[in-house]
Amino acid sequence: MAKINSNYQKLQAGYLFPEIGRRVRAFSQQNPEAKIIRLGIGDVVLPLPNPIIQAMKLGADELAQRGTFKGYGPEQGYDFLLAAIAEHYRSQGASVEADEVFVSDGSKCDTANIQEIFALDNTIAVTDPVYPVYVDTNVMAGRTGMSDGKGRYAGLTYLPTTVENKFEPALPEIPVDIVYLCSPNNPTGAVMSRANLQKWVDWAKKNEAIILFDAAYEAFIQEPGHVHSIFELPGAREVAIEFRSFSKTAGFTGTRCAYTVVPKELMARNDKGEKVAIHSLWMRRQTTKFNGVSYPIQKAAAAVFSIEGKAAIEENISYTMENARLIREGLSSLGFSVNGGVNAPYIWLETPGKMDSWAFFDQLLNQCHVVGTPGSGFGSCGQGYFRISAFGFRENVEAAIERIRTQLKL
């Protein structure tokens, strides 16, 4: 009989967001009249802006003509989009060449897939709390032992990010080969300071480690001076891979488009101790396993960088960040301790009396019909925290705060 990859059996329960979906569906079936407000998964609600939709339509029209029809595109992405992305990086003070950009169907997939080009005996560090994809994919690959039942797996190095350290991960005290960093952070909403990120880059250089830098939320940074791309920092091109996405930035969660930058200088060693370029490995992986993002979607993504596209997405980001402000200030005025929500679309609140995160989830759902995300779903240091997403319609955000004010009885 065929055998399974037993590493999958080490995974804890289901993936976080389907589990939330399951509980919400069960509640909804028992309470069909309840008007549920969903501020759980960070999914966009605003329609795609007109300049982006127009570009998508024009792209689709081209496919309807013999002279402009396209079949398979380049796996890495069309040149027009790669050039626009490289130019955008330059405008942010980061040096990235167009042929270092790999367009894909999502940062979730890229941050999940990247680990497979690295040896199984690399030591891996993640923050705690953490976006679960980084952990689960390393569990699936066999880089960990069993879970302790509280969200930690043997063999991974966890870097706590809590109120005490202002959600800034400290450098690891034991040797680590690969570290996942996410800034602005999902789920804490914190942004790493330039000085701290530079320390990480210097550490990685000294230790021949690699930083997998998830910058999917960089466009939500509101305060000046923060790092948008790790490649703004000296030395980063030798130690980092960066992931970015059009999903939250420009409303592509349904249409799917993202990109990953692998600088040509980035090296790691093979079994013989020789240095090998990661760029060529990722290229090899993508050309074998991925056939590119569809042409109309890449046209739409390129329009995000046009003058009109930029203005439109800035408006949507401002809308979301105003929601974040309302949630932050609303909850804070009700006595909650809130973090994040200033440079990221997530508010990370401390549950009253450090109450269990899932218990708080159930109370909020039952009493207020509001859905958030239990912090413990992101790791053991997330216990006693709760994430609220600012992606939502303004009226729902306002109604959610009002319901929490008037209906939540703890």
Beta carbon of residue 125, minimum distance to ligand MLT (angstroms, whole number) = 20
What part of residues 184-243 is at the interface with ligand MLT (CB under 6 A)?
186
Minimum Å gap between C-beta 107 and ligand MLT is 7
- Of the candidate spans 36-44, 174-182, 225-233, 305-313, the one that interacts with ligand MLT by CB under 6 A turns out to be 36-44
If you write DSSP's letter for every residue of 292-339 in order, what string do you get?
A: ---HHHHHHHHHTTSHHHHHHHHHHHHHHHHHHHHHHHHHHHTT-EEE
Per the structure block, which two tokens stand in for 225?
Answer: 């001076």
Whole-angstrom Cα distance, residue 380 to residue 303? 41
| Among positions 12, 38, 42, 114, the unique one binding ligand MLT when judged by CB under 6 A | 42
Q: Is 174 exposed, middle or buried (0-12, 13-18, 19+ CB in 10 A)?
A: exposed
Q: Which is nearer to ligand MLT, 41 or 171 (CB)?
A: 41
Q: How far is the CB of 335 from ligand MLT (least distance, A)?
A: 26
Beta carbon of residue 218, minimum distance to ligand MLT (angstroms, whole number): 14
256 binds ligand MLT (CB under 6 A): no
User: Rounded distance, CA 195 to CA 110, Å?
Assistant: 27
Burial annotation 251-266 (CB, 10 A radius, 16+ → b, else e): bbbebbbbbbbbbeeb
Strand-strand pairing, 101-104 and 267-269: unpaired
Rounded to whole angstroms, the Cα distance separating 192 from 298 reads 30
CB closer to ligand MLT out of 201 and 241:
241
Alpha carbon distances (Å) from 212 to 129, 139, 359 = 16, 17, 33
- Region from 39-47, 90-98, 320-328, 331-339 binding ligand MLT, contact rule CB under 6 A: 39-47
Among 41, 53, 140, 408, binds ligand MLT (CB under 6 A): 41
Site string for ligand MLT, 85-124 (x = CB under 6 A): -----------------------x----------------
CB of 245 to ligand MLT, least distance (A): 8
Residue identified by tokens 């339509």 is 57
Given the complex with ligand MLT, which of 42 and 296 has the nearer CB atom?
Answer: 42
Minimum CB separation from ligand MLT for residue 108, in Å?
Answer: 4
Other C-beta atoms closer than 10 Å to the C-beta of 208 total 13
**What is the 3-state composition of the chain as percent helix, strand, coil, each rounded to the nearest 5?**
45, 15, 40
Instruction: Find the shortest distance in angstroms from Cβ 42 to ligand MLT.
Output: 3
Residues at the site binding ligand MLT, with contacts judged by CB under 6 A: 41-43, 108, 186
